[in-house]
Amino acid sequence: MTELRLTQEDRSKIITISKAMASETRFSILQLLSEDEYDISKLARTLDQTEANISAQVKHLEKAKLVECRYEPGNHGVRKICKTIIHSLNIEIIKEDS
């Protein structure tokens, strides 16, 4: 299991990740991907949303470096397969005294 630890010095990353996780759909995608790899079509079916919307949501998660995707041959072209990179996130908001 991969843990990401962020401190006050990682302010930009914290904001990017917080924005990415501020969507119900994106959070649901993260939960599903924590169990298994999914392609965009399967995510769309599972979440009862369009493939275009899921693809856009996954791009937000990729930008935040929470998921990674690869392409594989499919029945009708290529499939975009996604998986989580981070399984645990620890954000330090208040700096602890040394």
Ranges of each domain in the chain: 3-88
Model pTM score: 0.85
Residue 96 has pLDDT above 70, yes or no: no
The pLDDT score that the predictor gives to residue 98 is: 55
Q: pLDDT tens digits for 21-77?
A: 999 999 999 999 999 999 999 999 999 999 999 999 999 999 999 999 999 987 878
The pLDDT score that the predictor gives to residue 3 is: 85
- CB crowding 55-92: b at 16 or more within 10 Å, else e: bebbebbeebebbebeeeeeeeeebbbbebebeebeee
The CATH number given to 3-88 is 1.10.10.10
Q: Which residues contact 12 (CB under 8 A, 6 or more apart)?
A: none
* pLDDT, mean of residues 72-86: 89
